[in-house]
Amino acid sequence: MADHPKPRVLVFIVAYNAEKTISSVVRRIPAEISDLYHVEVLIIDDASQDATFACSLGVSKGGGSPFPIHVLFNPVNQGYGGNQKLGFQYAIENGYDFVALVHGDGQYAPESLPMLIEPLRRGEAAAVFGSRMLTPMGALRGGMPLYKFAGNKILTWIENRLLRANLSEFHSGYRIYSVRALQSIPFDRNTNGFHFDTEIIIQLLIARQPIKELPIPTYYGDEICHVNGLRYAWNVVKVALKARLQELSLFYDRRFDCAPAETASPYTLKLGYPSPHTLTLARVPAGSRVLDLGCAGGYMGRVLKDQKQCFVSAVDVGEINVRGLDEFQVHDLNLGVPYIPANAFEKILLLDVLEHLTRPEGFLEQLRDALALSPSTEVIISTGNVACLITRLMLLLGQFNYGKRGILDVTHTRLFTFASLRRALEQTGFAVLETKGVPGPFPLALGDNSVSRTLLAVNQFLMRFSRGLFAYQIFMRVKPQPSLKSLLQISQEQSRIRASLLETAGVDDASAFISR
């Protein structure tokens, strides 16, 4: 039985004006690491103004290291983040399993590499960070200035709160990544600046890639710090806030669009608080026959069957798990209204559907015509209110970002206000029976807790003063009005009935018939 090949590890050294330290950093990489891994070293000199490249080339040829050493030079400075992008791309293109980020100034001890790589080898993590904060006061004893220690602690606390993480520090530059994890995130879209490290942590968290921290010694020597502390602090807080706002569907940035597919679905059943789903559930009588157009995963239909014993027929563009539904049909609503038998359904659901259609008015006209012989059928509709306070504030700040969910879902093709939806419905032949505003789904965004419940109550109170400004969604019940075609058919049919009655009565003079 053949032995498994050793994992391939790239020790990637970012270097800028590191002529005094680069040789020492390379030589300090423990030789015994090769017992478990096939190790190579990559040094990328980021357009240094000193002899960093020459020193790196010298150590690669001088035989001072047991590992193959590759040296690259950036003719134009790419920045701390830009240099990392190149190294990670090199690791991906050359088929390494793990890439270890080491700084060329010697601030992080290469001697810790075997310990830091081990969790990756055992499959316990997708990324391992060397933390200077896991050992109480160890960073201060290692020479970290007090202002940097305090800043690290404060920023990490803020980032943990915003990102719902639990890291001891976000700002260590000593990291080992699984190359497969790097391939799962769009790190190439990140900044070229120093807050690249924060952005890649955010991406790993969103992508559900497990991170492990291990304690490392802290060393501060006479290296030159190239970081503007205040600008760096502002940048890391800003990107963490953006990521949090994106999770709440208030912002969108492609950098943070890296959640696994199974956790990124915008279609979530919202029960237990005011929502289109709870309003629909309250307005569908038990035992009703329901047609759910654009049913997504069929979640609402299953609730209606379980709680109201309804007959549910569902339609959607793709296959779903139809277990629990009475009927299911695959149909693209952009191609028109599916066949609806006369008087087959008491309720038709269009929950968060109209905004996805390319021609919603045309669809509504077809639906009204399809219901011409079903005048008692009600249609229940919900859609986002683009005029709500959230989007108005975003516009005020110069933002109009489509995201994965919410009012500005990237799959939306049309946006509505209360007035524009009512106008579209009335002009396509529907009478509006009920209109309600729906508050924001705070329990979905923040969890079902006292904060989200308080926000719900405040939102509902504010909707009393201005539904158009404070409602997050629009909810309407409508009924089809008879079309001209159906009215003409009714008139013709009534004429035939009355003429037949006259003939049966044997009355030739209509006035004589009326006098009777």
Please indicate, yes or no, whether residues 241 and 348 belong to a single structural domain of this protein.
no
When pLDDT is averaged across residues 426-446 and rounded to a whole number, the result is: 91
Contact criterion met (CB below 8 Å) for 459 and 470: yes
In a domain, 183, yes or no: yes
- Average pLDDT across the chain, whole number: 88
Other C-beta atoms within 10 Å of 121: how many?
A: 15
Please indicate, yes or no, whether residues 239 and 294 belong to a single structural domain of this protein.
no
When pLDDT is averaged across residues 25-30 and rounded to a whole number, the result is: 92
- The 10s digit of each residue's pLDDT in 335-369 is 999 999 988 999 999 999 999 999 999 999 999 98
Other C-beta atoms within 10 Å of 270: how many?
A: 17
In a domain, 198, yes or no: yes
In a domain, 327, yes or no: yes
Q: Model confidence at 1, in pLDDT bands (50, 70, 90)?
A: very low
Tell me which residue of 481, 480, 484, 403 sits closest to 445, measured CA to CA.
Answer: 403
Distances 470 to 392, 415, 434, 464 between C-alpha atoms, Å: 10, 16, 18, 9
Query: Which carries the bigger pLDDT value, residue 265 or residue 156?
Result: 156
Share of residues in the chain with pLDDT > 70 (%): 93
Q: Model confidence at 482, in pLDDT bands (50, 70, 90)?
A: confident
For the chain, how many structural domains are there in total?
A: 2
Question: Residue 315 is part of a domain; what is its CATH number?
Answer: 3.40.50.150
When pLDDT is averaged across residues 486-507 and rounded to a whole number, the result is: 78
* DSSP result, 272-300: SSSSHHHHHHHHS-TT-EEEEET-TTTHH
In a domain, 56, yes or no: yes
pLDDT for 342? 86
Q: Please check the confidence at residue 483 and state whether its pLDDT lies above 80.
A: no
Please indicate, yes or no, whether residues 229 and 375 belong to a single structural domain of this protein.
no
State which residues form the domain around 201.
8-261
Residues 6+ apart with CB under 8 A from 382: 276, 279, 280, 350, 351, 352, 438, 473, 474, 475, 476
- The 10s digit of each residue's pLDDT in 208-262 is 999 999 998 877 655 555 566 688 889 999 999 988 888 877 677 888 988 887 5
Three-state DSSP class for residue 474:
strand
When pLDDT is averaged across residues 134-139 and rounded to a whole number, the result is: 79
Please indicate, yes or no, whether residues 193 and 286 belong to a single structural domain of this protein.
no
Edge-to-edge order in the sheet of strand 211-215: 69-73, 38-45, 8-15, 98-103, 175-178, 127-131, 211-215
Question: Residue 168 is part of a domain; what is its CATH number?
Answer: 3.90.550.10
When pLDDT is averaged across residues 186-210 and rounded to a whole number, the result is: 94
Please indicate, yes or no, whether residues 21 and 110 belong to a single structural domain of this protein.
yes
Is residue 147 left, alpha or beta, with left meaning phi > 0 and alpha meaning psi from -120 to 50? alpha
* DSSP result, 237-251: HHHHHHHHHHHTTS-
Separation between Cα atoms, residue 203 and residue 186, nearest integer Å = 8
Three-state DSSP class for residue 388:
coil
In a domain, 120, yes or no: yes
When pLDDT is averaged across residues 484-512 and rounded to a whole number, the result is: 74
Separation between Cα atoms, residue 47 and residue 66, nearest integer Å = 26
Please indicate, yes or no, whether residues 250 and 284 belong to a single structural domain of this protein.
no
Please indicate, yes or no, whether residues 290 and 428 belong to a single structural domain of this protein.
yes
Share of residues in the chain with pLDDT > 90 (%): 59
Please indicate, yes or no, whether residues 16 and 128 belong to a single structural domain of this protein.
yes
- The 10s digit of each residue's pLDDT in 143-175 is 778 888 888 889 999 999 999 999 999 988 899
pLDDT for 228? 65
Query: End-to-end distance of the chain based on CA atoms, in angstroms?
Result: 107
When pLDDT is averaged across residues 459-468 and rounded to a whole number, the result is: 94
Provide the strand spans (E) within 277-393: 289-293, 311-316, 327-330, 347-351, 378-384
Please indicate, yes or no, whether residues 234 and 304 belong to a single structural domain of this protein.
no
Q: Please check the confidence at residue 4 and state whether its pLDDT lies above 80.
A: no
Please indicate, yes or no, whether residues 287 and 257 belong to a single structural domain of this protein.
no
In a domain, 338, yes or no: yes
Separation between Cα atoms, residue 209 and residue 221, nearest integer Å = 33
Q: Please check the confidence at residue 448 and state whether its pLDDT lies above 70.
A: yes
In a domain, 174, yes or no: yes
Please indicate, yes or no, whether residues 442 and 416 belong to a single structural domain of this protein.
yes
pLDDT for 2? 47
pLDDT for 223? 53
In a domain, 69, yes or no: yes
Tell me which residue of 476, 326, 497 sits closest to 416, measured CA to CA.
Answer: 476
Please indicate, yes or no, whether residues 52 and 144 belong to a single structural domain of this protein.
yes
